[in-house]
Amino acid sequence: MAAMIELKNIIKRYYVGQPNELEVLRGMDLSVNEGEFISVVGESGSGKSTLMNIIGVLDRATEGSYFLDGIDVGAQPDKVLSGIRNQKIGFVFQTFNLIGRITARRNVELPMLYNHLPQRERSARAKELLEMVGMAERERHQPNELSGGQKQRVAIARAMANDPAIILADEPTGALDSVTGRLVMDIFHDLHRRHGKTIVLITHSQELAEETQRIITLRDGNIIAERAGGRQPGKEASA
């Protein structure tokens, strides 16, 4: 299968050239295939967030190369990166990050608006996506009228808006109780199985990581372990 994400010797340093120079990623190689569901686990400060920012093209690596769906991301100007985030990547955040004061449906429409889709198409697709995550009845609700789990489902619908190649989820269940967290995880499994999405899940829950096909463990900016997961979701981990 073709590699959807191809990281080669990625190094990320902050404060380059200054006395407090900090190397957060230390030559990382990672390849994620199309349609793969992987998880990245690690302690705080292990470089998870930085890795996610680089995979999500919110940030550029100091050294190394990154190919996303065959595109050499490092060589692209900012405007192209905006387009890549818009059409190739769907973000799901721990804190949902829905835009306040506009309805759930308008939130889902936003990425399509930035992609210049006509209103009719945006609205139809947004409805369809909200239905998929079971939020069709709440399409007119504003974020502050929704529970955490509901917000996250709207956020997932938004991430799917432009039918991206990969879904990048940063601690998507971190702010949810276990029941709604389970529900959200099931949606990810559904996106993976039924829609063939490539999913990168960043978490520090070993339990959730076990459900994914592959588990990458980071420590101090290096990948220290890589193993297969794939336990049936929802079942208790065998001790």
Partner 1 sequence: MENILQAFTSLLANKTRALLTMLGIIIGIGSVIAIFTLGDSLTGSLTSQMSSFGVNNVTISLQQTGESSLQNLRGSMLGYGGGGGIAEKDLIKESMLTELKNAFPDEIAAVALTDSVGSGKTAQGRNYANLSLTGVNPDYFLVSDPDLLYGRLIGQRDMEGLRKVAMVSDKLVKNMFGGEKPLGKQITITAGNHVDSYTIVGVYKHEASPLIPNTASDKDISTAVYIPLSTAMRVTGTTGFQSLTLMTAGGVDSVAFAETAGNYLGRFYSRNLDYRVSAFSMESMLSTMTDMLNTVSVAIAAIAAISLLVGGIGVMNIMLVSITERTREIGTRKAIGATNGQIRIQFIVESMVICLVGGLIGMMLGIALGAGGAALLGTPARPSPMMMLGTALFSMAIGVFFGYYPANKAAKLDPIEALRYE
Structure tokens at 94: 């721990």
Q: Please select the residue that binds partner 1; options are 9, 31, 115, 147, rule is CB under 8 A.
A: 115
Cβ atoms of residues 6 and 71 within 8 Å: no
85 binds partner 1 (CB under 8 A): yes
In angstroms, rounded to a whole number, what is the distance separating the alpha carbons of residues 162 and 202? Answer: 22
Q: x/- contact string, 35-64, with partner 1 (CB under 8 A)?
A: ------------------x--x-xx-----
Q: Please select the residue that binds partner 1; options are 158, 185, 210, 218, rule is CB under 8 A.
A: 158
97 binds partner 1 (CB under 8 A): yes
Element (H, E) at 5: strand 3-14
Residue appearing with tokens 């449906």: 105
Q: Choose between 22 and 225: whose C-beta lies nearer to partner 1.
A: 22
Q: Please select the residue that binds partner 1; options are 102, 124, 224, 225, rule is CB under 8 A.
A: 102
Nearest one of 40, 94, 44 to 229, comparing CA atoms: 40
In angstroms, rounded to a whole number, what is the distance separating the alpha carbons of residues 175 and 189? Answer: 19
Q: Choose between 42 and 164: whose C-beta lies nearer to partner 1.
A: 164
Q: Please select the residue that binds partner 1; options are 27, 64, 74, 83, rule is CB under 8 A.
A: 83
153 binds partner 1 (CB under 8 A): no
Stretch that binds partner 1, among 7-15, 100-108, 178-186, 229-237 (CB under 8 A): 100-108
For the four alpha carbons of 157, 161, 164 and 170, in that order, the dihedral sign comes to negative
